[in-house]
Structure 1
Amino acid sequence: MLLLTLVFVFPAASELQVPLLFWSSSRDLWAPLENAHEGHITTDIQLSSYLDRALEKGPRNVLLFLQEKLSIEDFTAYGGVFGDKQESVFSHLENALESAPSSLILPSVDAYAASTLTSYLKKKSGASPLQIDPATLRKLKPNDIFPALLLLRLPYFTSSDSMAPKEILLGNDEIIGQVMSALRSEDVPYTAILTAVRPSRVVRDLSLISGDLGRHLLGEDKEFYSLLPETSPLPPVSYKDTKSRILFWAEDFTVTHESETRNLTALTFGAPTLNLTGSSWNSSSAQLVLTYDNLFGPFLTIKFILSSQFYPVSAQSWFTMESLEIHTNSSLVIFTSPQVTAPSIYSFHCQYVTFKSSKEVKSSFGSSDWRVSFYNFQIQAFNVSDENFAQASDCAGFFSPAICMGLVIAIVLLFFLLYGLHMILNLNTMDRFDDRKAGFLIIAQE
């Protein structure tokens, strides 16, 4: 199978590469790979040559499956590499590659080149990418939306997900299968691309390390990783009028209703079509409104309500998130959040922020079990400068539970130490010794 070639012939070289797969309904679209030796990394120039050929000689309908994270090791772990296709979670992808008249697999593409793929396609095709989710695509006929540059973002496993990585990858493969089936049924010519924003696994490049593979100091790892640039995080959400007014970012952003969990990270940060309609700002209040189509119903709207107030005692203004609201077609849920507060000249940061249903205004779901979770949450609504967060006021207090426990243990140990010293210092030596059990000494007199 083609994916077996990707796994065995081209092992991953480092954490800065992602795989990229092309397939098209046109024949003889790509020539055989050049420089197809082990460890070869496709640069941005080489990638652009493949893209130019696809856009010039192939169909004008381009479908980009952009997964949040993907590495060659995902195909190794979940791709059924032992020949049992039923064990592979990429069965639909494998069928698409095998049945396509033209296909091309680039096992190791420079991550920076892959991250700029959307903007490159937009520039070359002259069409803005239409971001669409699988639910919407199932309702539309391909002939209604093509020709176009379609962008489907696929999630990946995060620490806050309740699903296993294999289940998420299997769900992504099902989406690819449904899209390919719809295109074949309508006989729509297409060129499809699958890649990722960044790799999902940290893989060590042994070729960059001099010496043998025996014992080595732990500090050598730091020297190796210092050679690698860090992967750029997704940009924050920025609401602007005349300039940037509100900034919002999170490393992971999930919404859960009853048993259904949706990860909104890829749909929120760096998404070119994020809907901010309804957002507003003035010097004393701000409102950031995020609207998503076809989530938990026809739409899902999340509102961050913030305010700023001057306090004479501290002689400065503080901002507070008054509430977070969830709007759907049939319900409105409000969360109060007095813990999200900071001086207005700072941003607010917290490693974990979770909101649970606190007040339900109306609902037809029969349950108000909503949960919104953020990991590495940061927000700023006032005094934003140059689209950069100001210095963060962290939610972690000085006296954390660990510090309090340490102080209690230290006080107990100090008490025992002082008590022991007191006992030692009060020891007295006896000035004489009596043995009352012994008999009296009798000396006879003559």
Structure 2
Amino acid sequence: MIQGKKILIAVTGGIAVYKAAALTSKLVQAGAEVKIILSESAAKFVTPLTFQALSRNEVYTDTFEEKNPKVIAHIDLADWADLAIVAPATANIIGKLANGLADDMITTTLLAVTAPVWIAPAMNVHMYEHPAVRNNIKKLAQFGYQFIEPSEGYLACGYVGKGRLEEPDKIIELIHTFFNEKTLELTGKTIVVTAGPTREKIDPVRFMTNHSTGKMGYAIAEEAAKAGAKVILISGPVQLTAPSGVEVIDVESAKEMYDAAMKHFDQADVIVKAAAVADYRPKIVYDQKMKKKQGDLSLQLERTNDILFELGQRKTTQLLVGFAAETEHVEENAQKKLKKKNADMIVANNITQSGAGFGSDTNIVTIYKRDGTKESLPTMSKQQVAQKLLSEISLLLKDERNERR
């Protein structure tokens, strides 16, 4: 999938520059076209000539060095890329990009790139954990930048901890997955997605609900439609614009969401239950506004229908994906849910973790599958999580087709 792809690598100053040289070499061997931008600091570790020899392309170092009068170098380079990767990424470059600074060839180019930009940090463990760096990383993730999390181990400074640039082979594996996702085809498939919260009425002015905004479910619906699927989005009350090309069914209560899911279940090839549905509702709903009285008030609650469980009991050939928003024992609870609900995949996250909670534009999830495998994803935008999830769904659909042959 890398063959012929145009990959721009921005190399900033750090001892891990040698890994960027290895990454360049491996990408070229895999058939990619690679161009390098080298910061002034990076050039003190490895010379431009090394990257020129490995990439077989001119290396860019100076914003004001315009060798071709027909183009502006940094804009031309930005337009050229199918994917841009900053590796290694120092705390300095992360801070510059997060604040829109453009004072060298790397920053002026990356601010003009419209292709996806990946950041692969490499620095001392304490630098990586500094609140300013963490805040800049969070901001860039919200902008849509994807981060390749550093690994743990012995660092050049002598510390042992998180801060090592991810190995070139792992980065190439991620690139393969990315370009495979870009060719994702779900044409002819019907995907039902549930999204958002539910509201359980108490009286004409009050209801019970939760903090879900529907962003994750809407992202899945949007990306599935882009991939050619017929998408039915069953949405609780949210403040989001309906994705283009998606049939939206608006519901309010857990009962309404249950009825809609069951109605469209038989025609679905895939059901993704991303909604945060209320587990309980008031047993008595008052026709008139409840007036306040002296003392405490108790509400009697009753269970709502467990939509994911019911779908799991009824499914025949459908692929069933559930979500698990947890605050503790994430893996244990996700594995139990996977088995109990007869799901094919559970996407779990810890909603107390920064960048993964309700309302955030980013998410940090782990995908658990029926075959016992799991994959933990770094901080990503919810669109990127949706793309990854649909890629996994596509692979499972292909496996099922092969098994029937």
Q: Is the structural similarity TM-score above 0.5?
A: no
Bigger radius of gyration among the two: 1
Larger relative contact order (CA 8 Å, sep ≥ 6): 1
Q: What TM-score results when the alignment is normalised by the length of structure 2? A: 0.29
Greater helix percent: which structure?
A: 2
